[in-house]
Amino acid sequence: MKPLKTFAAVALVTVSGAAFAASHSDTGNPMVGGAAMFPDKTIVENAVNSADHETLVTAVKAAGLVDTLSSEGPFTVFAPTDDAFGMIKPESLNALLQPEAKDQLTTILTCHVVAANAMSDAIAGMIADDGGMHPVPTVGGCTLQAKMDGDEITLTDENGRTATVTIADVKQSNGVIHVIDRVLLPKQ
């Protein structure tokens, strides 16, 4: 098994709409949350521009992971959308964002990060090489099980919760983001 590389940072970047669209056409990266994703920006710098990842950005800040995710990496981040976080009861999510829950939140978030730059074709290849399921060890100590569902990659956490990669291969300067539709949790 080839290890996946580590995760990087969040920073605020403001770009005008015209420059944003023009630059995006040159990147070849998919749009995420209505925003262009720039391969020369870090995971954090791009994530703050996605309208679909406001909760994730808030959580990364609350967990104190901005500097980590802004570092050189490389990281593969399985990035849950706001709708994915919306599946968590509001009072539970609010409790996780409080300072006293920082360690728990950090563990949850780092269970979405792999210390490697793993594009979807490499993940699919590892799944095929392993007979249909590939273990994915995360920075947070969780092991996700990657499988194929038709042409889509799914990830199952240690509790049996499954997320689907809805947007793959969003290249970053310090790794790659794969957008997912569910928050994955450490074993409970």
Residue 7 above 70 pLDDT?
no
Q: CB count, 10 Å around CB of 91? A: 8
What is the pTM (predicted TM-score) of this model?
0.84
Answer yes or no: is 7 within a domain.
no
pLDDT digits (tens, 9 = 90+) for 8-26: 222 222 233 333 343 445 5
More confident residue, 36 or 126: 126
Residue 116 above 70 pLDDT?
yes
Q: Identify the CATH number of the domain in which residue 61 sits.
A: 2.30.180.10
Averaged pLDDT score across all residues of the chain: 85
Answer yes or no: is 111 within a domain.
yes
Answer yes or no: is 133 within a domain.
no
Answer yes or no: is 174 within a domain.
yes
Answer yes or no: is 157 within a domain.
no
**Structure confidence at residue 38 as a pLDDT band (50, 70, 90):** confident
Answer yes or no: is 22 within a domain.
yes
pLDDT digits (tens, 9 = 90+) for 66-75: 999 999 889 9
Which tokens sit at 78? 């399985």
Number of domains in the chain: 1
Predicted local distance difference test score (pLDDT) of residue 33: 86
- Residues 6 or more apart whose Cβ sits within 8 Å of residue 85: 55, 56, 59, 93, 183
CA distances from 176 to 42, 77, 88, 94, 115 (A): 9, 6, 25, 28, 11
Answer yes or no: is 114 within a domain.
yes
Answer yes or no: is 2 within a domain.
no
109: containing domain = 17-118+166-180
**Residue 120 and residue 10: Cα distance in Å, rounded?**
22
- Max mean pLDDT range (11-20, 36-45, 104-113): 104-113
